[in-house]
Amino acid sequence: MSEQKFLQVRDLHVSYRTRLGGLSAIDGVSFDVSKGEILGLVGESGCGKSTLGKTLLRMLPRSATITGNILYEGVDLLTLDDRALRDFRGRRASMMFQDPMTSLNPVQRVDEHMLEAINVHEPHTSKEIALERTRVLIERLGIQAERLRAYPHQLSGGMRQRIMIGLGLVLNADLIIADEATTSLDVIVEAKLLDQLREIREEFGLAMIVITHNIALVAELADRVAVMYAGRIAEIGTVYDVFDKPQHPYTQGLLRSVPNIKLDDEEELYKMPGEPPNLTHPPTGCRFHPRCPRAMPVCKEREPGMAEAKPGHFVHCWLYVSRSARGEAAKKVTS
């Protein structure tokens, strides 16, 4: 796998104006994605995962205020005009949404979806060449060529999701963002889709960002995982590091909340106390401190920086900030 960091997100902020005041949906997020890498993005509902995915392709409403940098092969996507952005979407990056039935046009056949995508970005490509490219791709995804003339409602959920993958690949995109792409699938179809995503990654060398609540899915599919909470990344590292040795109390709570067949009949599933904060009035300091069993006085007053628990494994928590730095912060709190 190449270590070339072709997507670099730096100090990304996304905010909205609401009747209750400003809402900071994404607050200072930074991470990299390498060529051929799969990054899992997990966390509770409302933590900012989908907003982050849409921000990367600038699919948010114009009322959103975005600051920071989204560098794609050195080009800041936040500086692109509408025409350049339209060319970027589909040709360079694509998004798979949660329910393909609402993403696909119900009055267009599968081949019409594919041809439309090709014609918009490659107007000089003949219909014959476009159809042949579509046929080869669809068969590669395990769908018979005759299904090209089917409408979305004539396909199963798994087939519709594979059509969404095909729309992302038909223009040879380098990055696919999958937002809860397996939520509506049964476990057997989901397993087949995961196998195909892995094969596609190996064959085409593309990168993926998989947004999901399903921690088991990320553990099986991803190379690295970022855990989000209240618009911030709480922890990021390899799947092995984060899941085998979680450092942030929030990550530890999430993993303890996953059903485990090893639990005794009388042992109750762990339930994390509290709920994510209202982002129009978030807590001061660390946003997790009202729910954290290991909160310290400094957590309530000052936001921690990202600490490197081990090479490549970062934690947004005062527990891993050096004692000297923590002491300096405590002095500022009490002064």
Segment 117-169, tens digit of pLDDT: 999 888 898 999 999 999 998 888 888 999 999 999 999 888 888 888 888 88
pLDDT of residue 322: 60
pLDDT of residue 244: 92
CATH class of the domain comprising 5-92+173-334: alpha beta
Instruction: Render the burial of 274-294: b for 16+ CB within 10 Å, e for the rest.
Output: eebbebeebeebbbbbebbee
User: Which long-range contacts (C-beta less than 8 Å, at least 24 apart) are formed by 148-153?
Assistant: 148/109, 148/110, 148/111, 148/114, 149/109, 149/110, 149/111, 150/109, 150/110, 151/106, 151/107, 151/108, 151/109, 151/110, 152/100, 152/101, 152/104, 152/105, 152/106, 152/108, 152/110, 153/101, 153/106
Span 312-332, pLDDT tens digits: 999 999 998 765 444 454 444
Residue 252, classed as helix, strand or coil, is helix
Q: pTM value?
A: 0.88
pLDDT truncated to tens, each residue of the chain (335 aa)? Answer: 445 578 999 999 999 988 888 899 999 999 999 999 999 999 998 899 999 999 999 999 888 999 999 999 989 999 999 889 988 988 889 888 777 777 889 999 999 999 999 998 888 989 999 999 999 988 888 889 999 999 999 998 888 888 888 888 888 888 999 888 777 677 777 777 788 788 888 888 889 999 988 888 898 889 999 999 999 999 999 999 999 999 999 999 999 887 776 656 666 777 888 899 999 889 999 999 999 999 999 999 999 989 988 899 999 999 987 654 444 544 444 43
Residue ranges of the domains in the chain?
Answer: 5-92+173-334
pLDDT of residue 235: 96
pLDDT of residue 252: 94
**Encoding tokens for residue 117?**
């995508």
Helix intervals (H) in the chain = 49-56, 82-91, 100-103, 110-121, 127-140, 157-169, 187-204, 215-221, 239-244, 249-256, 297-301, 323-334
